[in-house]
Chain A
Amino acid sequence: DIQMTQSPPVLSASVGDRVTLSCKASQNINKNLDWYQQKHGEAPKLLIYYTNNLQTGIPSRFSGSGSGTDYTLTISSLQPEDVATYYCYQYNSGWTFGGGTKLELK
């Protein structure tokens, strides 16, 4: 099974910062990766599909990139409402979520 490793586990940043979250697959996943945001007490929300496609209604400060085994979610200017845990999810071979990155305000 493909393993997804997210780093860092916890990230503290200030409002307005550019934030980068990483997700590394144990083998090539051919860009078959989504990103989800989960706020406390809520179901996850789809942010990015197929590596770099912004889901409808998601602010343009969110973007995704990557290829092969290494993928990134970037928030260009952190807002208070972005405090959440972020998960990557691969569907190239089987279907696996990463362990998450918890994003906090500094």
Chain B
Amino acid sequence: QVQLKESGPGLVQPSETLSLTCTVSGFSLTSYSVSWVRQPSGKGPEWMGRMWYDGDTAYNSALKSRLSISRDTSKNQVFLKMNSLQTDDTGTYYCTRDAFGSSGFDYWGQGVMVTVSS
């Protein structure tokens, strides 16, 4: 069955870099795109960026200067790196499978809570 699981540190220091891994199973990264979506506590989701099935990437314009998404298809993993973290980057970070290219997030990981604090 389709599964996605995020992993990474729960606590990051301000100004440091966040590194998260999304490990997928039950589908191929060369057939489906994977997005990263984050959600501050008590607020709505924010789409961050996407690894397209063909290896291309797309980023939220507000985060583009700080964000990088890559993948390792042999390990079924998608990676997120975001630098210069600040306290308002605190929240739950999800990876999702995009069922229809750039929409239809039909499967979500459990999410990983990231706190930016010294």
Residues of A participating in the B interface, judged by any CB pair closer than 8 Å: 1, 32, 34, 36, 38, 43-46, 49-50, 55, 87, 89, 91, 94-100
Q: Which interface residue of A1, A43, A45, A91 has the most chain B CB atoms within 10 A?
A: A43
The answer to whether A46 touches B104, judged by C-beta atoms less than 8 angstroms apart, is yes
Interface residue B11 (Cβ < 8 Å from any Cβ of A): no
The answer to whether A44 touches B102, judged by C-beta atoms less than 8 angstroms apart, is no
- Chain B residues with a Cβ closer than 8 Å to the other chain, count: 23
For the complex, what is the distance from the CA of A38 to the CA of B108, rounded to whole Å? 12
Can you list, as one digit per residue, whether each of B50-77 has a CB less than 8 Å from chain A (1) or not (0)?
Answer: 1000000010111000000000000000
Known contacts A89-B105, A95-B35, A95-B60; 11 further A-B pairs (Cβ under 8 A): A32-B103, A36-B105, A43-B94, A43-B111, A44-B37, A46-B106, A50-B104, A55-B106, A89-B45, A89-B103, A95-B47
Q: Lowest 6 A-B CB distances belong to which pairs?
A: A43-B108, A95-B47, A91-B103, A49-B104, A97-B45, A100-B44
Count of A-B residue pairs with CB < 8 Å: 56
The answer to whether B100 touches A95, judged by C-beta atoms less than 8 angstroms apart, is no
The answer to whether B100 touches A44, judged by C-beta atoms less than 8 angstroms apart, is no
Q: In the complex, which residues of chain A have a beta carbon less than 8 angstroms from the beta carbon of B2? A: none
Q: Would you mind naming 23 contact pairs between A and B with Cβ atoms under 8 Å apart?
A: A34-B103, A34-B104, A36-B105, A38-B45, A43-B94, A43-B109, A43-B110, A44-B45, A45-B108, A46-B106, A49-B99, A49-B103, A49-B104, A50-B103, A50-B104, A55-B104, A55-B106, A87-B44, A87-B45, A95-B50, A95-B60, A95-B102, A99-B44
Q: In the complex, which residues of chain B have a beta carbon less than 8 angstroms from the beta carbon of A55? A: 104, 106
For the complex, what is the distance from the CA of A36 to the CA of B107, rounded to whole Å? 12
The answer to whether A44 touches B108, judged by C-beta atoms less than 8 angstroms apart, is yes
